[in-house]
Amino acid sequence: MPRPLSDHDPGVVLEAERDIRARLGDRQLDFTALAAVSNIYRAANAVRNRIEREVLGPEGLTWGGFTILFVLWVWGERDTGQLAEDCGLAKGTLSGMLQTLERSRLVTRSRHPDDGRKVVVELREPGVTKIESVFPVFNRYESMVTERLDEDDRHELARLLRLVTATADGLALVPDD
């Protein structure tokens, strides 16, 4: 019996899509959209699980922890509200992750100099060292999981996923570079 929502085998996925259409085909549903969104979910989980298992886990990081380090590395210190938004995390989830990263001496939290109600998160030197060593491996895995796509396909996939994301968030589209 297929594991339709968790299986990543393309043959099983196609069979599951046929099963759904056979079971629900008498209803007015957009089966193409259903397949597209199901495969976005499946692809995101497959990529995340593999990279967490093979790259981040051995470094003592989760996907969320890595994302926090990456945002701080690229854009610099952030207050916790902004950091949570930038990382796509709930503030409560961010707080627990920051505790873990602080215990590992990768980040530090301090009161905002102009607004004592806010907390600022900053990447510490061990955090810089960690993200600078992990990111190239992470990026090799990004290349590996998209290696069956040529450069044009990768660009088009990125464009289409930005379109889906903007639509889901009710945001205006911007032209590609």
25-67 pLDDT, tens digit each: 788 888 889 889 988 998 999 999 999 999 999 999 999 999 9
Question: pTM of the entire structure?
Answer: 0.85
In residues, how long is the chain? 177
Q: Show the CA angle centred on residue 23, arms to residues 19 and 26, nearest 5°.
A: 130
110-152 pLDDT, tens digit each: 998 888 788 999 999 999 999 999 999 999 999 999 999 999 9
Q: How far is CA 2 from the centre of its chain?
A: 27
Topology of the domain comprising 61-147: Arc Repressor Mutant, subunit A (1.10.10)
Count Cβ neighbours within 10 Å for each residue of 62-84 and write b for 16 or more, e otherwise: ebbbbbbbbbbeeeeebbbeebb
User: For residue 106, which of 167, 168, 151, 56 has the smallest C-alpha distance?
Assistant: 56
Work out the widest C-alpha separation in the chain, in whole angstroms. 62
pLDDT at 113: 84
State yes or no: pLDDT of 9 exceeds 80.
no
State yes or no: pLDDT of 173 exceeds 80.
no
pLDDT at 153: 97
pLDDT, mean of residues 55-84: 96
- Tell me whether residue 140 is exposed, middle or buried, using C-beta atoms within 10 angstroms of its C-beta: 0 to 12, 13 to 18, 19 or more: exposed
